[in-house]
Amino acid sequence: LSDDAHQSQTIPTRATATMVKFTAIVLALAFGAASAFAPMRTPAALRKSVISNMQEPHGGTLVDLFVDDKEAAIKSCTKTIQLNPRQLCDVELITNGGFSPLTGFMNEEDYLSVVNDVKLASGLLFSLPVVFDTDDESIVVGDKILLKQDDLEIATFTIESKYLAQKPLECLNCYGTSSIEHPGTLMVAMEKGKYYLSGALEGLNKPVRDFPCKTPKEVRAELPDDKDVVAFQCRNPVHRAHYELFTRALDDEKVGQDGVVMVHPTCGPTQADDIDGTVRYKTYEVLKEETANPRVIWNYLPYSMHMAGPREAIHHMMIRKNFGCTHFIIGRDMAGSKSSLDGEDFYGAYEAQEFAESKSAELGVKCVPSLNLVFTEEEGYVTADEAETKGLTKKNLSGTKFRKALRAGEEIPEWFAFKSVVEVLRAPGNGIN
């Protein structure tokens, strides 16, 4: 059981002829052919940051793009753009080093290399494009744009190239499908602009959020220098099985003695039916207090989910590498998605695990498979294989039944969910009742 493992990856071939035609029409309207407007330019120099633990950042250097003279940087801008929530997450992770070695949004060469070959033009492993989209015809090469969150100046963006996105190719290669039944493909097709902009960023201020998001440098300063750090990614509240899963991961043979777990939930935009990030943050905070486990560290990631299955598993591993993690828990169907029409999974249950394992050595992050845990009346949580071998009595509560009981005010068994988490979810205004 894993939080981001409720869907998974095999390239779907389920669409009917009618759906295929409909999808083709929508994509034809939404997408354009690729074409560069300006040549590439060499990225700005990287800044070396102090590395506080033994994990090397991706590409060798932890990027830090924040400038000292904010006023001068702001005055040098010629245009202003208000960032949407997805763009805000991307800008934050570029400027603070979460997307190291990137120092700005990808140019067309890097974009196509990532889409086609899962690597930057330099040959460095990189699994999903990081691009800035727009429909604004007035933006031209040479513009220096002030990126804002409402009234707060977040970053400057010097436009180095402007090109048309190859959206059908991007969707097929990154999401494994061109069907708009997939939320990631729908986002690329219908939400993103037709142009992608590349260029260097300068960081001005961290975004204001209801949940604190430490930079990679800040997180590394708090991690142990000489112990393995196992990252656990989630995008939903943590229940009992999740907690058992990531604490037992410390017993895996790949993890050294006295290793720690860093629970690193994504609190940015995600699937439409997921619980709001601010509410999720509240559940994590009460659980942190309730469990008070010295071997569990809690931090929060300003990241917009793609639901890209295997490709996104690598993306998450790379980000956590930049935050100082040495290991990463890969769950069943991690970052997977279901069809919005028939509910079928887009990815196979173990595709993310297999793809991550195949790239583990190259990335420099060890994969820790998640245990398939079940609750039994006799022995509590054990692996499904152990329950089967011993003939133990398994108990189950589906997500649908849990949500129904939650809304109805019915008792939730404590073997399934932490009482403190349930109380947060039931609180007025949290979108559950």
User: Are 171 and 189 in contact, with CB atoms under 8 Å apart?
Assistant: yes
User: Are 238 and 288 in contact, with CB atoms under 8 Å apart?
Assistant: no
- Nearest by Cα to 314 from 249, 360, 373, 374: 360
What's the confidence (pLDDT) of residue 346? 81
Torsion of CA 35, 122, 307, 238, to 10 degrees: -150
Buried b / exposed e across 52-64, counting CB within 10 Å, b at 16+? bbebebbbebbbb
What is this structure's pTM? 0.85
How far out from the chain centre does Cα 70 lie?
29
State how far the alpha carbon of 205 is from the alpha carbons of 55, 68, 91, 246, in Å: 26, 11, 11, 33
Please name every residue paired with 382 in a beta bridge, in sequence order, or none if there are none. Answer: 374
What's the confidence (pLDDT) of residue 27? 45
User: Are 403 and 364 in contact, with CB atoms under 8 Å apart?
Assistant: no
Q: Look at the block and give the residue holding tokens 């070695």.
A: 101
What's the confidence (pLDDT) of residue 402? 86
Ordered per-residue pLDDT tens for the chain, 433 residues: 444 433 333 333 334 444 444 444 344 434 443 333 333 333 433 433 333 457 999 999 999 999 999 999 999 999 999 999 999 999 999 999 999 999 999 999 999 999 999 999 999 999 999 999 999 999 999 999 999 999 999 999 999 999 999 999 999 999 999 888 898 999 999 999 999 999 999 999 999 998 899 999 999 999 998 899 999 998 888 999 999 999 999 999 999 999 999 999 998 776 666 678 788 899 999 999 999 999 999 999 999 988 888 999 999 999 999 999 999 998 876 766 667 677 778 888 788 889 999 999 999 999 998 888 999 999 999 999 999 999 999 999 887 788 889 888 899 999 999 999 999 999 887 766 5
User: How far is Cα 88 from Cα 247, in angstroms, rounded to an integer?
Assistant: 32
- Dihedral sign for Cα atoms in the order 399, 401, 407, 412: negative
User: How far is Cα 87 from Cα 104, in angstroms, rounded to an integer?
Assistant: 12
Give SS3 for 409: coil
What's the confidence (pLDDT) of residue 417? 93
- Supply 41's token pair: 């330019």
Residue range 92-124, pLDDT digits in tens? 999 999 999 999 999 999 999 999 999 999 999
What's the confidence (pLDDT) of residue 36? 37
What's the confidence (pLDDT) of residue 76? 97
